[in-house]
Amino acid sequence: MRIECPYCGPRGAEEFVYTQDAERARPTDGGASPTEDWAAYVYLRDNLPGARREYWYHQGGCRAWLKVTRDVSTHEILKVELP
């Protein structure tokens, strides 16, 4: 599997680490109150087939954080962008 890093060009997937789902936006700070939004952001993940947006970190390369759109059924990388 290859991921096209905007800085380094196409590199082997082993240089990157998947870290988390990029579908949910982080709630804005609302003080020390554990709201439903925060619980959803931290714990809830949609496990659906098809194209999903994910955060990948180019750990073995330029250390850029990337927002990768990947078809989780076929592993096809559809889009790579800076967050």
Partner 1 sequence: MSGFRMATGGLVDRATPVRFRFDGRAYEGFAGDTLASALLANGVTLFGRSFKYHRPRGVLSAGAEEPNALVDVREGAWREPNTRATMVEIFDGLSARSQNRVGGLTHDVMAVNGLLAPLLAAGFYYKTFMWPAAFWERLYEPVIRRAAGLGRASGLPDPDIYEKTTEFCDCLVVGAGADGVAAANEAAKTAPRVLLVDEYAPLGPAPVLAENVKFLPRTTVFATYDGDYAALERLSDHLPSGPGPRQRLVRIVAGRCVLATGALERPLLFGHNDRPGVMLADAVATYLARYGVAPGREAVVFLNHDTPARLIGALAAAGVAVNAVVDTRPGSSALVHEAARAAGVPVFAGAVVTRALGGLAVRGAEIRQANGSVLRIRADLIANSGGFTPNISLTTHLGAKPVWDEGIAAFKAGALPAGMSVVGKAAGEGINPGIRAHWHGGQFAGKSFVDFQNDVTVKDVALAVREGFVSPEHVKRYTTLGMATDQGKTANVNALGVLAQMTGQEIAELAGPRARPPYVPVAIGALVGAHRGAEFRPVRRTPTHEFAEALGAKFIEVGPWLRAQYYPRGAEDWLAAAQREVNIVRGKVGFCDVTTLGKIDIQGPDAVVLLERVYANGWANLPVGRVRYGLMLREDGFAMDDGTTARLSDTQFVMTTTTANAGRVMQHLEFCARVLWPELDVALMSVTDQWAQLSVAGPKSLAVLRKLADEPSLIDDEALPYMGCKALTIAGGTPARIFRISFSGERAYEIAVPARYGNGLARALMAAGEEFGIAPYGTEALGIMRIEKGHPAGPEFNGQTTAHDLGLARLLSRKKEFVGRAMAARAALCDPARPALVGLRPVRAGDVIRAGAHVLPEGAPLTVAHDQGWVSSAARSPSLGSIGLAMLRNGPARLGEVVRVYDPVRAGNFLAEVVAPVQYDPEGSRLYA
Instruction: Name the token pair of 81.
Output: 């962008």
What are the strands of the beta sheet with 51-57, ordered from one edge? Answer: 17-21, 51-57, 65-71, 76-81
> By C-beta, is 45 or 59 nearer to partner 1?
59
From 6, 40, 59, 72, residue interacting with partner 1 (rule: CB under 8 A)? 59
Query: Could you give the CA distance from residue 18 to residue 26 in angstroms, rounded to a whole number?
Result: 18
DSSP 34: -
Interaction residues for partner 1, span 38-57 (CB under 8 A): 38-39, 41-43, 55, 57
Site residues (CB under 8 A) for partner 1? 1-2, 12-13, 17, 19, 26-27, 29-35, 38-39, 41-43, 55, 57, 59, 63-65, 74-76, 83
